[in-house]
C-alpha cells in the first residue's frame, strides 16, 4: 500500500512518468515523444492536446510495467519544461492556439517594443528576468494579439494560461469538470509577471502586457496538496502534491538544498542552477534570478540560473536536419574517431544566445573550417559547444557569488556521454560529479510531492538518498584550456550581430 510516488515529467521533447520507491530508486518508466512543430524559422510549437494524451498514456504505461495500481501510489508530482505557454478555454478545455515553446523567438518585436520604455532590464529588479522571447509573458501577449477573438474571450474571463505544469494539473484534476488552476512559485518565476518578494502576480506588469489577471493560475508553494486526481483518471483520488519547473526539480533531486550548491542539467538545453538560499541575489553577469523551491509555508529558496538554449538539441539537429548521424549516441562514436576538434567550433545560437550574453541578434555559426575538417570534427565541436557554454555560465556564477564552485553536480541525458563529461571537467578546471540516479528532474518532483504527504519526512532523508556514481577530474594543462576557451570566445563573437 502506498509504497511509491509517481512523477510526471512533461519535457520539451517527451512526456514521461516515473515511479520511485522510498530510496529514490526508479521502479518503472513510461515515455512518449511529441511532435515538434516548426511553422517557420524561429517558431517552435507543441500541440497541448497531444501533450495531455501522452501524459495519460505514460502514466498508464509506468503503472502497468510495474504491475501497480493507484493504491500503490502515495502522491503525484509534476515537473515540466518551463516558460512554454498554453492558453486554453476553460469552458471547452481546448487550447486556443498551440503551445508556444520556450525556444520560440517570434515575440522579438514585442520585446523590442516593451524595451523602448526602460530597456531590456525594465522589470529585472522585480522579477529577476530581462525582457526576452524566452519567458512566457511575451508569448501570452502574442496569443492575445494574434489569435482571432482571444483577447475578447480573455477579457470576459473565459481563457486560462499555464505553463505545461498547470495545463497537466488542470486536466488531471478534472479539466472542465472542476480542474484546479494552479502553478508553483518556480514556474511563476519564469513568466516575467511574478514579484520575487511577494510571490504574487504584479498587476502593473500584467497591465503593461495587457494580460488579464483572471487568466493567471493561483501561485502556490512547490510542495502541498493542490487537489486530487479526477475520478475519470487512472490515478483517481491520488493527491497531486508537488510542482517544480524541471530545472528547479533537478536541483531538488540532486539534494542541492544548501546555499552555494549547484547543478547542471544536460538536456535539450543546459541549465546551471546555483542555490542562494533565502537571499534574492541580482546578477551582474547575465544570470537570471529565479525561485529555487518553496516547501509549504516555509520561506522560499532563491537561485541564480545560467540558461543555455541549445546543447542536446544541437545533436538532434545533426541527426534530423543534416542526417549526419542516425541516432544521438552515434555522435560520441564519430567524435571519438578524431583526436581533437581540428580547429572547428560550433556556436549553436539557434534561438539567439541566452546566458551570459542575452543576444537576440546572434545566430548559429560553424567556424574554423578547413579542407581537413570532417564529420568527426563537426561531431566533436558539437559536443564541445555544450562544455564551453557551461564554462561561460560557471564563470558568471563564480563572479556573482564571489566564491568559486569547487565541483559541479551534473545530470540529464547527455551525462551518459563519458567523453563529454571528461572534456567538461577539463574545460571547467573543477571535478564533475554524476549521481547514481541521473533522472533527478523527475526525482525532484517526486520528492516535493512525497514531502507534502509525509511519504518522506524531511530534507535530511532525501540527502541520504543521494549517492555518487562517478567523478571526472580535470586533466587538461592550464595553457591548453585557456587556448581552447579563447578560440571558443572568438567563435562566439562571429555568431553575433547576424540578424538584419
**CB of 83 within 8 A of CB of 46?**
no
Burial class (CB in 10 A: 0-12, 13-18, 19+), 347: buried
- Give yes or no for residue 11 binding ligand G3P (CB under 6 A): yes
The rounded distance, in Å, linking the Cα atoms of 57 and 9 is 13
Q: Is 466 left (phi over 0), alpha (psi -120 to 50) or beta?
A: beta
- Candidates 29, 81, 275, 276: give the one binding ligand G3P (CB under 6 A): 81
- End-to-end CA separation in angstroms for the chain: 61
**267 binds ligand G3P, rule: CB under 6 A:** yes
Stretch that binds ligand G3P, among 138-146, 261-269, 318-326, 465-473 (CB under 6 A): 261-269
By the rule CB under 6 A, 439 interacts with ligand G3P = no
Distance from CA of residue 221 to its chain's centroid? 18
Q: Segment near ligand G3P (CB under 6 A), from 59-67, 76-84, 222-230, 492-500?
A: 76-84
- Please report whether residue 82 would count as binding ligand G3P according to CB under 6 A: yes
Least distance (Å) from ligand G3P to the CB of residue 250?
Answer: 8
Four-residue CA torsion sign, 254, 256, 261, 263: positive
Nearer to ligand G3P among residue 9 and residue 158 (C-beta): 9
Quick one: 154 or 291, whose CB is closer to ligand G3P? 291
Closer Cβ to ligand G3P, 82 or 124, answer by number? 82
Residues 450-479 within binding reach of ligand G3P (CB under 6 A): none
Q: Omega into 356 within 30° of 0, i.e. cis?
A: yes
> CB under 6 A: which stretch of 113-121, 215-223, 242-250, 392-400 binds ligand G3P?
242-250
**With respect to ligand G3P, which residue has the nearer C-beta, 266 or 472?**
266
- Contact residue for ligand G3P among 184, 246, 392, 426 (CB under 6 A): 246
Q: What does the alpha-carbon distance between residue 149 and residue 89 come to, in Å, rounded to a whole number?
A: 11
* Strands (DSSP E) found in 382-472: 408-411, 432-435, 468-472
CA distance to 12, 182, 243, 432, per residue, from 121 (Å): 27, 28, 28, 33
Does position 104 bind ligand G3P by CB under 6 A?
no
CB of 473 to ligand G3P, least distance (A): 27
165 binds ligand G3P (CB under 6 A): no
Q: Containing H/E element for 19?
A: strand 14-20
If one asks whether residue 247 binds ligand G3P (CB under 6 A), the answer comes out as: yes
83 binds ligand G3P (CB under 6 A): yes
| Collapsed DSSP state (helix, strand, coil) of residue 137 | helix
**Smallest distance from ligand G3P to CB 197, Å:** 23
Between 323 and 342, how does the x/- string for binding to ligand G3P read (CB under 6 A)? --------------------
Region binding ligand G3P by CB under 6 A among candidate stretches 75-83, 87-95, 123-131, 325-333 = 75-83
Matching residue, cell 576557451 = 485
How many CB atoms neighbour CB 336 within 10 A? Answer: 13
93 counts as binding ligand G3P under rule CB under 6 A: no
Classify the C-alpha dihedral 337-340-345-350 as positive or negative. Answer: positive
- Give the nearer residue to ligand G3P in terms of CB position, either 136 or 171: 136
Q: How far apart are CA 123 and CA 414, in angstroms?
A: 34
Nearest to 215 by CA among 292, 272, 160, 176: 160
**Number of neighbours of residue 304 by Cβ within 10 angstroms:** 27
Binding residues for ligand G3P, total number by CB under 6 A: 12
Query: What's the min distance (Å) between Cβ of 483 and ligand G3P?
Result: 31
Q: Is 411 in the site for ligand G3P (CB under 6 A)?
A: no
Q: What is the binding site for ligand G3P (CB under 6 A)?
A: 11-12, 81-83, 102, 245-247, 267-269
Amino acid at each position: 500500500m502506498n509504497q511509491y510516488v509517481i512523477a510526471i515529467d512533461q519535457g520539451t521533447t517527451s512526456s514521461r512518468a516515473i515511479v520511485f520507491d522510498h530510496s529514490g530508486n526508479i521502479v518503472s518508466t513510461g515515455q512518449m515523444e511529441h511532435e515538434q512543430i516548426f511553422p517557420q524559422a524561429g517558431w517552435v510549437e507543441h500541440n497541448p492536446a497531444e501533450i495531455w494524451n501522452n501524459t495519460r498514456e505514460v502514466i498508464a504505461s509506468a503503472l502497468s510495467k510495474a504491475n501497480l495500481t493507484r493504491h500503490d501510489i502515495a502522491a503525484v508530482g509534476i515537473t515540466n519544461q518551463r516558460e512554454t505557454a498554453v492558453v486554453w478555454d476553460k469552458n471547452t478545455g481546448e487550447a486556443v492556439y498551440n503551445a508556444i515553446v520556450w525556444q520560440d523567438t517570434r515575440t522579438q518585436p514585442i520585446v523590442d517594443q516593451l524595451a523602448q520604455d526602460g530597456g531590456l532590464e525594465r522589470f529585472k529588479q522585480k522579477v529577476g528576468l530581462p525582457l526576452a522571447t524566452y519567458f512566457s509573458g511575451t508569448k501570452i501577449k502574442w496569443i492575445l494579439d494574434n489569435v482571432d477573438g482571444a483577447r475578447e474571450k480573455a477579457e470576459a474571463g473565459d481563457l486560462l494560461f499555464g505553463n505545461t505544469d498547470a495545463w497537466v494539473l488542470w486536466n488531471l484534476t478534472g479539466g472542465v469538470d472542476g480542474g484546479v488552476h494552479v502553478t508553483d512559485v518556480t514556474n511563476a518565476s519564469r513568466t516575467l509577471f511574478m514579484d520575487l518578494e511577494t510571490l504574487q502576480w504584479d498587476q502593473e506588469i500584467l497591465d503593461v502586457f495587457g494580460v488579464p489577471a483572471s487568466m493567471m493560475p493561483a501561485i502556490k508553494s512547490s510542495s502541498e496538496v493542490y487537489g486530487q486526481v479526477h475520478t475519470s483518471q487512472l490515478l483517481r483520488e491520488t493527491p497531486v502534491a508537488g510542482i517544480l519547473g524541471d530545472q528547479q526539480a533537478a536541483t531538488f533531486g540532486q539534494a542541492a538544498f544548501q546555499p552555494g550548491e549547484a547543478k547542471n542539467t544536460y538536456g535539450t538545453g543546459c541549465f546551471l542552477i546555483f542555490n542562494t538560499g533565502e537571499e534574492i541575489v541580482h546578477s551582474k553577469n547575465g544570470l537570471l534570478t529565479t525561485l529555487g523551491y518553496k516547501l509549504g509555508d516555509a520561506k522560499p529558496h532563491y537561485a541564480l540560473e545560467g540558461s543555455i538554449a541549445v546543447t542536446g538539441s544541437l545533436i538532434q539537429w545533426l541527426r534530423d536536419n543534416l542526417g549526419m548521424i542516425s541516432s544521438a549516441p552515434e555522435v560520441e562514436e564519430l567524435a571519438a574517431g578524431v583526436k581533437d576538434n581540428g580547429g572547428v567550433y560550433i556556436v549553436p545560437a539557434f534561438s539567439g544566445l541566452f546566458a551570459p550574453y542575452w543576444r537576440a541578434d546572434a545566430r548559429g555559426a560553424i567556424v574554423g573550417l578547413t579542407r581537413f575538417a570532417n564529420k568527426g570534427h563537426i561531431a566533436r565541436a558539437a559536443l564541445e559547444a555544450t562544455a564551453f557554454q557551461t564554462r561561460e555560465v560557471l564563470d558568471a556564477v563564480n563572479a556573482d557569488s564571489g566564491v568559486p564552485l569547487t565541483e559541479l553536480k551534473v545530470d540529464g541525458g547527455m551525462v551518459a556521454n563519458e567523453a563529454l563529461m571528461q572534456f567538461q571537467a577539463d574545460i571547467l578546471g573543477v571535478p564533475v560529479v554524476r549521481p547514481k540516479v541521473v533522472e533527478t528532474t523527475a526525482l525532484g518532483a517526486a520528492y516535493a510531492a512525497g514531502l507534502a504527504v509525509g511519504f518522506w519526512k524531511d530534507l535530511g532523508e532525501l540527502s541520504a538518498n543521494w549517492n555518487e556514481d562517478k567523478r571526472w577530474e580535470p586533466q587538461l594543462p592550464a595553457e591548453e584550456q585557456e587556448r581552447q576557451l579563447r578560440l571558443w570566445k572568438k567563435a562566439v563573437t562571429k555568431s553575433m550581430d547576424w540578424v538584419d
